[in-house]
């Protein structure tokens, strides 16, 4: 079997610091979206393969749990250094299998690296509390301990950053990880696995399990798995949450999105138009924080639409390894699904200001191309408004006043990200207070929180209690233990069946 890094290859699992073929002979094609060429085949693991990977992680856990914080931190720092030196390689792998332009792929790696840097401070982050003399000569203290084997299931749109939202903190906290990447672009995970090995991580602490629902179901029900961190579409997030929680696991499941930007009449319209184009069409709209609805308040709509259209028409579409602004969509099936939404929007009566189906791309004839599409006069009953399209399609909805815009956003089932564009501090403050969305930008279109804050949406965009990374991440990947101790002068109070009292 040929391994990762070659042109046409079999993309395998990773177990005990080595490639692992497993027993399943089922594979799925992995394509370069800019050419349409199949560049490899990823193995789709069986339940037996999942057992082997989970067992390896479970076997590695006790020793890793007992590794000192100093040792764990040194490995984290080494991993961070190697990643920083060689992240260009990872960005190219992402572009070859996802399609996003290399600079954008590098951006995702940089944001993931920030979580590694946060996790380098694990010794500080894990400090517990200590109370001396809580009762006479009795001390109480709390410690945080790792969970055991933790599963991470990631989507296609950030093959490096989303896993890195979770695994640096999970590993730093002493857990053993099983990462199940998207089968659409599985190679980045193996590159990261090799980097961990080079950084000195013991065998079995970071493992990769390739596959689809079969291995996901194993992660959700196998008694050796303590938790699952999932990121993907809302229906699967809901399924993962319900199934994993029913099996007694700790679950965080981040789902889909339909992010609105609210543009008030006093906003800087050039700034807002730039932001709509960047956030609407960057990464071909395949970001969970992409803006897909621009809500234009009052009389500015005509001017705003014209400014967005002018900018969007100038976007260079092409192979992400060339001098392009926007790459192809991830698969042909997804490209065709997004094109069908454009057709539906037209049929439903939205005004097509810019039609991405007429794209001319600097890339392979069989690439999965679709240009930026701009709809005006969109209303909530249209499928381009109600559904998460996850492509380069931006809808403008016109409303009379701030309250109409707020009502629209708050009635949406999703609540991942949102943004307001205004020069009125009072309006911005009111919006951040009133909007039912987890991440809010004020004149910032893609408000992805820093690693030391936490990333997560509300409503149908997240199932569970924990957001990703930051202190939520530290808490998710550890459980608390509280110890009450008495050493000096233990008083023998004799038999007393009463509830312990403090004195």
Contacts to ligand NAD by CB under 6 A: 153-158, 162, 180, 182-183, 212-213, 216, 231-233, 236, 254-257, 288, 388, 390, 416, 457, 461
Sole residue written with tokens 């138009």: 273
3-state secondary structure 35-67: CCCEEEEEECCCHHHHHHHHHHHHHHHHHHHHC
Q: What is each CA distance from 100 to 88, 89, 361, 406, 425, in whole angstroms?
A: 14, 14, 14, 32, 35
- Pinpoint the alpha helices (H) of 202-331: 213-221, 234-246, 269-281, 301-313
89/217 with CB nearer ligand NAD: 217
Residue 57 C-beta: closest distance to ligand NAD, Å? 18
d(CA 315, CA 370): 12
Q: 446 Cβ partners below 8 Å, 6+ apart? A: 278, 279, 282, 287, 289, 290, 291, 417, 419
Residue 369 C-beta: closest distance to ligand NAD, Å? 19
289/297 with CB nearer ligand NAD: 289
The H or E element containing residue 31 is strand 27-31
Residue 234 C-beta: closest distance to ligand NAD, Å? 6
Between helix 69-98 and helix 102-119 the angle, nearest 10°, is: 170
The H or E element containing residue 138 is strand 138-146
Angle at 98 between CA 92 and CA 104, to 5 degrees: 60
Residue 211 C-beta: closest distance to ligand NAD, Å? 7
Residue 3 C-beta: closest distance to ligand NAD, Å? 21
Q: What is the dihedral of CA 262, 105, 208, 149, to 10 degrees?
A: -40
Angle at 422 between CA 420 and CA 424, to 5 degrees: 120
Between helix 69-98 and helix 161-172 the angle, nearest 10°, is: 170
Residue 339 C-beta: closest distance to ligand NAD, Å? 17
154/395 with CB nearer ligand NAD: 154
48/347 with CB nearer ligand NAD: 48
Residue nearest to ligand NAD (CB): 232
135/238 with CB nearer ligand NAD: 238
| Closest by CA position to 8, among listed 45, 33, 42, 51 | 42
Q: 129 Cβ partners below 8 Å, 6+ apart? A: 141, 142
Q: How many residues does the chain have?
A: 503
Catalytic residues: 288
Residue 308 C-beta: closest distance to ligand NAD, Å? 22
d(CA 194, CA 386): 42
DSSP, collapsed to helix, strand or coil, labels residue 455 as strand
232/320 with CB nearer ligand NAD: 232
Decide: 175 and 166 in contact? Cβ < 8 Å.
no
Residue 337 C-beta: closest distance to ligand NAD, Å? 11
d(CA 142, CA 145): 10
Q: Report the chain's C-alpha Rg in angstroms.
A: 25
Residue 461 C-beta: closest distance to ligand NAD, Å? 5
Tokens coding 451: 């690693």
Q: 478: exposed, middle or buried (C-beta count within 10 Å: 0-12, 13-18, 19+)?
A: buried
């Amino acid at each position: 079997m040929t391994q990762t890094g070659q042109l046409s290859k079999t993309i395998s699992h990773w177990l005990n610091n080595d490639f692992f073929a497993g027993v399943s002979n089922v594979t799925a094609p992995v394509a370069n979206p800019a050419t349409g060429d199949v560049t490899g085949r990823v193995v789709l693991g069986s339940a037996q393969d999942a057992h082997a990977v989970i067992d390896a992680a479970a076997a590695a856990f006790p020793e890793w749990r007992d590794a000192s914080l100093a040792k764990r931190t040194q490995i984290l720092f080494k991993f961070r250094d190697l990643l920083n030196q060689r992240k260009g390689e990872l960005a190219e792998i992402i572009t070859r299998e996802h399609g996003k332009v290399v600079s954008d792929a590098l951006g995702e790696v940089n944001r993931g690296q920030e979580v590694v840097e946060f996790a380098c401070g694990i010794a500080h982050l894990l400090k517990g509390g200590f109370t001396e003399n809580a009762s006479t000569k009795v001390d109480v203290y709390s410690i945080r301990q790792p969970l055991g084997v933790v599963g991470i299931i990631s989507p296609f749109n950030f093959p490096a950053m989303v896993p890195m939202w979770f695994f640096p903190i999970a590993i730093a906290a002493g857990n053993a990880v099983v990462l199940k990447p998207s089968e659409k672009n599985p190679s980045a995970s193996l590159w990261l696995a090799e980097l961990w090995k080079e950084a000195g991580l013991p065998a079995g602490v970071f493992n990769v399990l390739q596959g689809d629902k079969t291995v996901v179901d194993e992660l959700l029900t196998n008694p050796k798995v303590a938790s699952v961190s999932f990121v993907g579409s809302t229906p699967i997030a809901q399924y993962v949450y319900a199934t994993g929680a029913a099996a007694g696991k700790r679950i965080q499941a981040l789902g889909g999105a339909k992010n609105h930007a609210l543009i008030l009449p006093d906003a800087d319209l050039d700034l807002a138009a730039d932001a709509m184009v960047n956030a609407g069409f960057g990464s071909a709209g395949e970001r969970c924080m992409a803006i897909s609805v621009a809500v234009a308040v009052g009389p500015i709509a005509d001017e705003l639409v014209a400014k967005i259209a002018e900018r969007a028409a100038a976007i260079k579409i092409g192979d992400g390894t060339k001098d392009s602004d926007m790459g192809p969509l991830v698969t042909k099936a997804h490209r065709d699904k997004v094109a069908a939404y454009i057709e539906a929007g037209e049929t439903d009566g939205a005004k097509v200001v810019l039609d991405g189906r007429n794209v001319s791309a600097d890339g392979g004839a069989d690439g999965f191309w679709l240009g930026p599409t701009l709809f005006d006069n969109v209303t909530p009953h249209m499928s381009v408004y109600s559904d998460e399209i996850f492509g380069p399609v931006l809808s403008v909805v016109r409303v009379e006043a701030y309250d109409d815009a707020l009502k629209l956003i708050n009635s949406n089932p999703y609540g991942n990200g949102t943004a307001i564009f205004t020069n009125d501090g009072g309006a911005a403050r009111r919006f951040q207070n009133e909007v039912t969305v987890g991440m809010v930008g004020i004149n910032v279109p893609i408000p992805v929180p820093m690693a030391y804050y936490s990333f997560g949406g509300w409503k149908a965009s997240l199932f569970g209690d924990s957001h990703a990374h930051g202190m939520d991440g530290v808490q998710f990947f550890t459980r608390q233990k509280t110890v009450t101790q008495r050493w000096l002068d233990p008083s023998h109070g004799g038999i007393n069946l009463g509830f312990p009292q403090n004195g």
